[in-house]
Amino acid sequence: MKVIAYSIKPFEKEFLARANQKKHDITLISNPLDLETAAFAEGKDAVVIFTNDDASAPVINKLADLGVKYISTRSTGTDHIDQLVAQKRGIKIANVPVYSPQAIAEHTIALVLALDRKLIVATDHGRNFNFRNDELIGFNLHGKTVGIIGMGHIGLATAAIFKGFGCKVIGFDINPKTEHDHVPLIELKQLLAESDIISLHAPLTNETRGMINRSTIAQMKDGVMIINTARGGLIKTIDIINALESGKIGYLGLDVYEFEKGLFFEDHLDDNQKDDLMKKLIDNPNVLVTPHQAYLTKEALQEIANQTIINLDLWRKEQIASEEFTGDKDYLKKLTPIGKLPKQNTHLLP
């Protein structure tokens, strides 16, 4: 299969090469996908993208005009893809259903501990040989109530770690399931009112977009800690900045940002004009922002690469079937539908 992969970082190449084993003809480029760079997909069967690539309707229409039949995203979320237009144009979509939820969960805890124990402030002081303990008082996690919003694989992995600290963990999910590893599911209003720490792990949908806003913040405890390692659009940034300034929110840890597109994954040190809202966030001593790096472990990168190649393998299977077995409808039914990919990733390493 001929493929072009957009927004490839240097550190991704070895993982994709190890997973691919030269099975597919993949062109790796650092350019993000947009209306202009879509032209690079001419003559390709599939494109591989990432969360900050532009897979809006105009771009998908251009890809379809160029003959692209498949889009695989190196992420679990697909909110950056106009799926309705893709369906209309006959383009199939695949994601990475699950990849090392522990990577995201552990980064969540890292943000919590760094904020709680003032690790950034202490480190900055220490570099100047200031070893006073002033302004470094934190709090015990043991005994605190942690509310997990989004009880999927990552939410459950995060809950397990918080339990290890001796926290009381409660959960909310828009689409609740029956089993949640003994984490009680409650209504969102109750979770907001009871939680000392709120950790977001929900996908970005029409229902969840902006769910952390002036109204829901008002229902929270004073001084609450909020952590978001899911999607930036879950939080209305201007509302959370106001709550930080008033003291309603005591701590904020972000690995994602509502307006991160075009900002994260790149160096903007020399930009003449900086993002005003981001500047307000990072200037606040009770805020810690990391650049969408929660997924960035060796294990997660390999699982993402493996599942991406599996997606291409399955599509290639479909291609062969349609070319060689066009009259055998029963054979086509035996192929694994893309929408039913295995929940656990298969490792292709030797």
Q: Which residues are catalytic?
A: 231, 260, 292
Single-letter amino acid, residue 124: D
Token pair of 104 as six digits = 């995201």
Report the alpha-carbon distance of residue 217 to residue 22 in Å, rounded.
51
**How many CA atoms lie less than 13 Å away from 58 in the CB half-sphere?**
6
**How many CA atoms lie less than 13 Å away from 53 in the CB half-sphere?**
29
Contact status, residue 96 vs residue 308, Cβ threshold 8 Å: yes
* Torsions phi, psi for 172 (to 5 deg): -140, 140
Report the alpha-carbon distance of residue 301 to residue 308 in Å, rounded.
11
Contact status, residue 324 vs residue 34, Cβ threshold 8 Å: no
Report the alpha-carbon distance of residue 350 to residue 344 in Å, rounded.
18
Contact status, residue 73 vs residue 49, Cβ threshold 8 Å: yes
